[in-house]
Amino acid sequence: MCGISGIVHSENIGRNLFNSIRNLEYRGYDSCGIAMLRQGTIDLRKNIGGIDDVNSKEQLDQMQGRIGIAHTRWATHGGVTQENAHPHLSTNRKFAVVHNGIISNYKELRESLQSKGVIFDSLTDTEVFVNLLEESFADCNDLEQSFLAALQQIEGSFSIVMLSAHDPEHLYCVKQESPLLLGLGEGCNYVGSDLNAFLEYTRQAIVLDDGEYVVLGQDDYQIRQVQTRDTIGKSVLNIDWDVETSKKGGYSHYMLKEIFDEPQTIRQAMKIPAGQISGIAEMFVNAPRSYLIGVGTTYYVASISQYYFSILADCFYPSLSSDEFTVVKIESGDMAFAFSQSGETYDTKTALEYAKDHGAQTAAVVNVMGSAISMMVDQVIMQGSGPEICVVSTKAALAQTFIMIRVALELGLMQTRISRKEYEKHQLDLEEFPEMVKKVLNEQSGFVRNIARATSHVENWLFLGCGVYYPVAMESALKMKEVTYQHAEGMPAGFLKHGTLSMVEPALHSLFFVPPPEEKELHDRTLIAMEQVKTRGGTAIALMFQGDKRAHAVVDQSIELPPVSILLAPLMQMIVAQMFSYYAALELGRNIDKPRNLAKSVTVG
């Protein structure tokens, strides 16, 4: 949530700073700005709109200087206005800051500064901090000391980078709860709220921990504890993400590109060492009670996993939305397993903290290396899906689901719920899956697009499924809402008759997630709901598998997929439903990669 970038270089960095916030734009895109130091003066340019918009108004990429900070915003405190955009300047224009997170005691601090005559330009919490800096510096005339003095006064979650006319060689950075990383280059150093801020320029990164601050120069950096001022030695990570995977690569949107990345993402998930997978399965075996947690899409990934654990290992682990997790009684020895693409989501982090405080074991599957969640849990699986730039999650969620099938299979074997022979057959299916996905993406996309186009006017959808197809329907409905802004409600197909059936009429469209006919019980139940819709004059569309004559006879339209193993059929439907939402949004002219009101990683509560 919000993107931060800072660079100290031996050469002009206008273009690089601009590129870095462009690469972070998915974190927030209602306004942006850059502050650079030039001949002792801070040049500030900021405005509302997306990065390219603001660039055409402010010529951000033409700015001159060797040291600077930049920000792309997702508004929390103060509306979307030019004044509220970052960076923020102190009254004397000697300090500029960019900030991610929330300064929770900003109101008291603002009032106190106002009583001393400080006039604020914006309604943000951030402007309080930059004026505290000016005030502290006036007292001590020492930049590092004034940075620390200002920090002692603020509470909440924040990562902050400060630029000051008093020190043309260094940026001052601090991390508290919101993510912040350093990137180390040759004759230049970087700071960013995630790796995408500097991945184009360096692969050497340091992940900062809470309570650490950094004085960052072109060739040097010191990391210290805010409380003690002790210097800290930190390990440098070599980031192996391929820069190309964070580019659009000829696709019209990142969402489409990331859907087409899915075969490769699954291959990566297959490469996660078996020892890691069984290590997680053992944690489940050893815990008296286990919970699966996530929010939004990752809650649905948790819910899909819940079914797989049940089907393959006869184990029931409830899935919970992370923000509701603290109602659960959790005790020493229990286990909380979290899902998070970004590894920075506030609700999930808070739920894990709650679990840890009660003595529970924690584990997670995470995509972003060095992220808070990846560092705080007892065991982590790094899914290796590469950067996911589109705000809505596709490939990361798919890979997490696939990984959990691997864990459930391992657990099934350990619990002797499945035989070695069945296990090996399933493994073969997993290995063949990337090729099948590739084929479906290539061969079905035109057809999916036609149906999505023809139905893009539909304002109300029901997405219906039974068994594991139910959470798949829920996740697909979320995707639809996010990118098309049309209403889609996911529910169990059997639930329909208990109330929602009253809404059925021709304009209400129902998308059925139909299992392969071999899944007889689930298939029968889905078809019963389909008949209920049709006999009441509703419109039914089916996502189903080829050769399903019974479903074909009932529905108005269908997307028919080639046969795939029962184990992976739900995932194939999840992928096709992602495509369906994408094409509907395309037809409606939506801002697909950056849907209105959303941000990629939600680091606030």
Cβ atoms within 10 Å of 91's Cβ, excluding its own: 17
Could you tell me the smallest distance in angstroms from the CB atom of residue 521 to ligand F6R?
30
Q: What would the two tokens of residue 294 be?
A: 């996530």
482 or 519, CB closer to ligand F6R? 482
184 or 304, CB closer to ligand F6R? 304
Per CB under 6 A, 281 contacts ligand F6R: no
Could you tell me the smallest distance in angstroms from the CB atom of residue 470 to ligand F6R?
18
- CA within 13 Å, CB half, 399: 32
Catalytic member of 2, 32, 188, 390: 2
3-state secondary structure of 265: helix
Phi/psi of residue 247, nearest 5 degrees: -105, 160
Could you tell me the smallest distance in angstroms from the CB atom of residue 64 to ligand F6R?
36
* SS3 per residue for 269-321: HHCCCHHHHHHHHHHHHHCCCEEEEECCHHHHHHHHHHHHHHHHHCCCCCEEE
Catalytic residue flag (residue 2): yes
3-state secondary structure of 63: coil
User: DSSP for 148-217?
Assistant: HHHHHH--EEEEEEEEETTEEEEEEEEEESS--EEEE-SSEEEEESSGGGTTTT-SEEEE--TTEEEEE-
With contacts defined by CB under 6 A, how many residues of the chain interact with ligand F6R? 14
Per CB under 6 A, 345 contacts ligand F6R: yes
Of 271-279, 337-345, 522-530, 581-589, which segment contacts ligand F6R by CB under 6 A? 337-345
Per CB under 6 A, 603 contacts ligand F6R: no
Encoded one letter per residue, x for contact with ligand F6R by CB under 6 A and - for no contact, window 476-505 reads: ------x-----------------------
Q: Which of 348, 455, 476, 539 binds ligand F6R (CB under 6 A)?
A: 348
Measured CA to CA, the distance from residue 231 to residue 213 in angstroms comes to 10
Could you tell me the smallest distance in angstroms from the CB atom of residue 42 to ligand F6R?
34
106 or 300, CB closer to ligand F6R? 300
- Helix (H) or strand (E) run with residue 470 in it: helix 469-484
Phi/psi of residue 37, nearest 5 degrees: -95, 125
Could you tell me the smallest distance in angstroms from the CB atom of residue 343 to ligand F6R?
7
Q: Which of 297, 361, 444, 603 binds ligand F6R (CB under 6 A)?
A: 297
Measured CA to CA, the distance from residue 319 to residue 107 in angstroms comes to 38
Catalytic member of 46, 349, 479, 600: 600
Cis peptide before 87 (omega within 30 of 0): yes
Could you tell me the smallest distance in angstroms from the CB atom of residue 344 to ligand F6R?
7
Site for ligand F6R in 361-420 (CB under 6 A): 392-393
Q: Which of 20, 84, 303, 340 binds ligand F6R (CB under 6 A)?
A: 340
178 or 298, CB closer to ligand F6R? 298
Could you tell me the smallest distance in angstroms from the CB atom of residue 294 to ligand F6R?
6
146 or 371, CB closer to ligand F6R? 371
Per CB under 6 A, 295 contacts ligand F6R: yes
Per CB under 6 A, 265 contacts ligand F6R: no
Per CB under 6 A, 178 contacts ligand F6R: no
395 or 509, CB closer to ligand F6R? 395
214 or 604, CB closer to ligand F6R? 604
**Which residues, at least 6 apart from 216, have a Cβ–Cβ distance to it below 8 Å?**
6, 8, 170, 171, 172, 173, 182, 189, 191
Catalytic residue flag (residue 600): yes
Which of 437, 483, 432, 444 has its CA nearest to residue 262?
Answer: 437
Could you tell me the smallest distance in angstroms from the CB atom of residue 322 to ligand F6R?
8
Q: Which of 20, 385, 601, 603 binds ligand F6R (CB under 6 A)?
A: 601
- CA within 13 Å, CB half, 7: 31
How much is the CA Rg of the chain, to the nearest whole Å? 25
348 or 565, CB closer to ligand F6R? 348
- CA within 13 Å, CB half, 35: 27
Q: Which of 437, 533, 602, 604 binds ligand F6R (CB under 6 A)?
A: 602
**Which residues, at least 6 apart from 223, have a Cβ–Cβ distance to it below 8 Å?**
182, 206, 208, 212, 213, 214, 231, 232, 233, 234
Helices of type H across 342-466: 346-357, 372-376, 395-414, 420-454
Contact predicate 488/481, CB 8 Å: yes
Per CB under 6 A, 578 contacts ligand F6R: no
Instruction: Give the residue nearest to ligand F6R (CB).
Output: 296
Could you tell me the smallest distance in angstroms from the CB atom of residue 384 to ligand F6R?
15
Per CB under 6 A, 194 contacts ligand F6R: no
Check residue 231 and report its DSSP letter. Answer: B
Per CB under 6 A, 180 contacts ligand F6R: no
Per CB under 6 A, 342 contacts ligand F6R: yes
Contact predicate 210/177, CB 8 Å: yes
385 or 444, CB closer to ligand F6R? 385
Could you tell me the smallest distance in angstroms from the CB atom of residue 298 to ligand F6R?
4
5 or 393, CB closer to ligand F6R? 393
| 371-387 burial: b if 16+ Cβ within 10 Å, else e | bbbbebbebbbbbbbbb
Which of 36, 122, 110, 111 has its CA nearest to residue 73?
Answer: 122
Of 14-22, 324-332, 336-344, 411-419, which segment contacts ligand F6R by CB under 6 A? 336-344
- Write out the catalytic residue numbers: 2, 600
Chain residues binding ligand F6R by CB under 6 A are 295-298, 340-342, 345, 348, 392-393, 482, 601-602
